[in-house]
Amino acid sequence: MDAIRKQATKLREQVAKQQQAVLKQFGNGGYASFDYVFSDEAELQQHQKLEKLYISTRSGKHFQRDIVRGVEGFIVTGSKQVELGTKLSEDSKKYGAEDSCTNVSTLSKAALTFGRARAQMEKERGDLLKALSTQVAEPLRAMVVGTPLEDARHLAQRYDKMRQEAEAQAIEVSKRQIKGREDAGNIDNNLKLEAAESKLQDLKSNMTVLGKEAIVAMTAVEAQQQRLTLQRLIAMVELERTYHQKILEMLDQLEEEMVSERQRIEATPSPVIEDPVPPPPSYEDANGIYSSQTVNGSGDSVGYFLAEVVHAYQAESDVELDLSVGDFVVVRKVANNGWAEGECKGKAGWFPYGYVERRDRVPATKIAEVF
């Protein structure tokens, strides 16, 4: 529609110029001067300036609308990410809290640290989304639907309509003048010509005033439109830049803490069992051989107790027990040679006693796995 309107305006300008050339030719042939010809240079420049302002403000309005839609879509997507990130944070902290009853649970500590950091990151993301809404989307939306732009565009449209009326009136005057020369003595035609010329002058005068008002209004709106849009774009960049800087600081700190914990674990030497003696081939034989139970070399008798696996162990025979870090074992017997016998996850067998540590209690989530 705008393209058709622009093309029609150009055609009207061409027709007006052709009319002006024809009237000048008549004047050179001995007819009266037509100095009131409509499409003079000043009016043409005014019209062209308004046309450019109209196109510029329309493009600016569409750009503002695109920014608003983009920011709103980003907010919707970001809100979903905040929801998922918050759930991840809660799950991590829940695991860390439930599994923190042991005093050497590295994963629990890492889960708690991660959960707290994730919660803070999601809070920062939520603050960013709120700021984008209030500082970017809302001001631009207000400009798009605001009255200053619509009022200025309305003035330009009124000017264009009046210009079309003036063009039609100029053609009417030309016809009356030609007819008057053909019938110079016709008083009625002369009166109509005077009325047509008077109406044309009024239209030209009003059109000039309205055109100036429209140019002033459109120029002011264009300046405000471009200034506001640039300010909101800068604000959006600054908000995101600040957000990403904070997130980067949090991630650096989180990585440092978790890597430090990992290095501490890797630096801890694995227990060395000197001259380990293979466990007896059967529990019956073992009960006969290892009737004396000791812990850490002491001769004190030991009853059943719970222990947490701190180092993984792969069974090498059917009478040995596979161990995974974090598992809990019911220790039933500890032999002098550094081996222990117990039950884990419904299976019984022998394992190196140095691979477990005694615990006073077991987390509720692990109870079902022990037996």
- What DSSP string describes 253-284? HHHHHHHHHHHHHHHSPPP--SSPPPPPSSHH
Range list for CATH 1.20.1270.60 in the chain: 39-267
Length of the chain, in residues: 371
What span, in angstroms and rounded, lies between the C-alpha atoms of 371 and 355?
19
Q: Which one, of 258, 260, 325, 248, lies nearest residue 113 by Cα?
A: 258
Work out whether strand 339-344 and strand 347-352 pair parallel, antiparallel, or are unpaired. antiparallel
Give the H/E segment covering residue 350.
strand 347-352
Q: What share of the chain is helix, strand, coil (3-state, %, to 5)?
A: 70, 10, 20
Nearest 10 degrees: Cα torsion 232, 237, 241, 244: 100
Span of 1-10, 143-152, 337-346 with lowest mean pLDDT = 1-10
Q: Quick check: 293 pLDDT over 50?
A: no
Model pLDDT, residue 85: 95
Confidence of residue 298 (pLDDT cuts 50, 70, 90): very low
The angle, 0 to 180 degrees and rounded to 10, between the axes of the packed helices 41-98 and 106-132 is 160
**pLDDT tens digits along 301-318:** 456 888 999 988 888 888
Range list for CATH 2.30.30.40 in the chain: 305-358
Q: How far is CA 63 from CA 58, 146, 149, in A?
A: 9, 15, 14
Q: Quick check: 268 pLDDT over 70?
A: no
Span of 53-57, 187-191, 276-280 with lowest mean pLDDT = 276-280
Q: Mean of the per-residue pLDDT values for the chain? A: 79
Top CATH class, 305-358: mainly beta
Q: Quick check: 21 pLDDT over 70?
A: no
Q: Quick check: 248 pLDDT over 90?
A: yes
Backbone angles phi, psi at 341, to 5 degrees: -120, 135
On whether the pTM is more than 0.75, the answer is no
- For the chain, the straight-line distance linking the first and the last C-alpha, in angstroms and rounded, comes to 79
Average pLDDT of 167-194?
80
Model pLDDT, residue 19: 53
Model pLDDT, residue 195: 87
What span, in angstroms and rounded, lies between the C-alpha atoms of 82 and 118?
10
Q: Tokens 């107790």 identify what position? A: 305
Model pLDDT, residue 6: 65
Model pLDDT, residue 89: 94
Span of 199-208, 218-227, 291-300 with lowest mean pLDDT = 291-300
Q: Quick check: 36 pLDDT over 50?
A: no
The CATH code of domain 39-267 reads 1.20.1270.60
Model pLDDT, residue 98: 78
Confidence of residue 86 (pLDDT cuts 50, 70, 90): very high
What span, in angstroms and rounded, lies between the C-alpha atoms of 141 and 133?
10
- According to DSSP, the residues that pair with 358 across neighbouring strands are 307
Average pLDDT of 288-312?
60
Model pLDDT, residue 288: 44
* Higher per-residue confidence, 279 vs 334: 334
Confidence of residue 20 (pLDDT cuts 50, 70, 90): low
Q: Tokens 């035609």 identify what position? A: 189
Q: Quick check: 332 pLDDT over 60?
A: yes
What span, in angstroms and rounded, lies between the C-alpha atoms of 141 and 293?
80
Q: Which of the given ranges, 40-49, 131-140, 208-217, 351-360, has the highest pLDDT on average?
A: 131-140
Confidence of residue 238 (pLDDT cuts 50, 70, 90): very high
Distance of CA 188 to the CA centre of its chain: 73
